[in-house]
Amino acid sequence: MGRRNTIQKQLVLDAVNKFMGHPSAEEVYNSIVESYPDISKATVYRNLNHLVDSGQLLRLTVPGSADKYDATVSNHCHALCKYCDKFIDLELENPVVIDFNDKALKENMVDDFVILFTGICPDCMEQKRKIKD
């Protein structure tokens, strides 16, 4: 039996889509509660989980930080700026390819992977250049 497409689920999906980035569950909740003050945090979190389970959103685990959500579900990587904590989509010219038939992966039942690059975003690089000049 499929899950119903509820108004709350659509509100959550719309909220993630309108962010120009990768919001946390708290940020999604805060953006919805402004217009719908009766919605609960539990409802937002539950619907985020449903949307991830159904493949409509990606959940991105960020070490030392809250999970982020991404409405772009196509195969892409992410980078985290070491200075401003900005989370950036990376569309690599040569995407990372993993052979899931590899013995070590099969033995450990690995069926997915997440790559998080770290570095300095273009905005922070520009700031560093301005300080040097």
* Three-class DSSP category at 13: helix
Residue 1 has pLDDT above 50, yes or no: no
Report d(CA 71, CA 45) in Å as an integer. Answer: 15
Query: Are 60 and 67 in contact, with CB atoms under 8 Å apart?
Result: yes
Tell me how far apart the terminal alpha carbons of the chain are, to the nearest angstrom.
62
**pLDDT tens by residue, 70-81:** 999 988 899 999
Q: What is the mean pLDDT of residues 46-61?
A: 95
What mean pLDDT, rounded, does the chain reach?
Answer: 90
Give the domain CATH number at 122: 3.30.1490.190
**pLDDT tens by residue, 109-118:** 988 777 889 9
Q: Are residues 46 and 21 part of one domain?
A: yes
Q: Are residues 69 and 4 part of one domain?
A: yes
Q: Are residues 56 and 1 part of one domain?
A: yes
Q: Please tell me the predicted confidence (pLDDT) of residue 132.
A: 80
Q: Please tell me the predicted confidence (pLDDT) of residue 4.
A: 61
Among 73, 106, 123, give the residue marking a domain's end.
Answer: 73
Q: Are residues 68 and 57 part of one domain?
A: yes
* Structural domain of 47: 1-73
Domain count of the fold of the chain: 2
